[in-house]
Amino acid sequence: MDDLDLRPRLPGNLPQLFADGAAGRTLTTPLPPGDLVWPDPGYPQRQIQLRPAFWVSDEPVTGELWARLRAEHERSGLWPLLLDESDQPWAAGQIAPEPVEDIGNYAPIAFMSEVWSDWADQATAEEAHDLAPFGLDCPGPAPRGAAMDDPGAVADRHARSLAGRGLSLGLVAVERGADALAAAGWQGALNHNEWTAPLSAVVRSWEDRFAARVVGMGFNTLELSVAAPPVTARHALQVAAEHWAFCPDILFQGPGTLAGYAEEIRGKTWWSFWWD
């Protein structure tokens, strides 16, 4: 028998998600029925997609399944997502994947500064007051947080909470969860930023500084777990400033002021974003 036949393989058609055919990748957790999702050729795309963008389950899944798949990510190369099918028909392929390689071309501090500068050019005095104590001056990224728990355990708890909404499972072939935004073709922040890769770069930074993990997404929503959140008022204000640049709607259609939002996220082990 050919030695190649003896190599461990990912089940079903999952190897198609990988450019190299998933050589050496393994997955022992049984999956529910599902299928690969290819970008709809009639939908506006940002690159020629030569392979499927992700795999999605036919039915909602449990948080326990998400946790088992997360634990296998290092071996499988597949990052699990809880996908809200009620808002976004993921299986229809109305997605616009971007090359993961592009993410490294963006610096989170540059993204934040550009958003802040564009806003400051037309902000009123009242609007500048809402972003006190920073106002028109971008404070830059916040210092890293101190881990309160194991990042995986925090992510698993958030997944169990979210799964109660009846969410489908997605699997994306990426080395880290932040890259799933671009690789899966998510466009939830399209009204705020034309490209998704810069947002993935920001989430990468949050993975590094706040032990954040991407747990779920919807048509215009994003769910992260956070194992090292800000716990002081000052630190929370700086993190809130980053959140505002990433997703202005959570402030202006939420508590209304940076200080008010900072109190909402202080010590919180999950961050929820939504774009109008």
Confirm whether 119 is domain-assigned. no
Residue 120 lies in a domain: no
The pLDDT value given to residue 43:
74
Radius of gyration of the chain (CA): 19
19 inside domain: yes
In a domain, 158, yes or no: yes
- The answer to whether residue 70 is domain-embedded is yes
d(CA 128, CA 96): 34
Contact 274, 249 (CB under 8 A): yes
CA distance 75 to 78: 8
Residue 190 domain boundaries = 3-105+140-274
Evaluate whether 116 touches 138 at the Cβ level (below 8 Å): yes
Q: For position 2, what pLDDT does the model report?
A: 46
Q: Is 111 within the bounds of a domain? A: no
Q: Identify whether 124 is part of a domain.
A: no
Residues written for the chain: 276
Per-residue pLDDT of the chain (276 residues; tens, 9 = 90+): 444 455 568 999 999 999 998 889 999 999 999 999 998 877 777 666 678 999 999 999 999 999 999 999 999 999 999 999 877 778 888 899 999 999 999 999 999 999 999 999 999 999 999 999 999 999 999 999 999 999 999 999 999 999 999 999 999 999 999 999 999 999 889 889 889 999 999 999 999 999 999 999 999 999 999 999 999 999 999 999 999 999 999 988 889 999 999 999 999 999 999 998
Domains in the chain, number: 1
Domain annotation covers residue 28: yes
| Both tokens assigned to 80 | 């699990």
3-state DSSP percent of the chain in helix, strand and coil, to 5: 40, 15, 45
Token pair 């880290």: residue:
176
User: What pLDDT sits at residue 1?
Assistant: 41
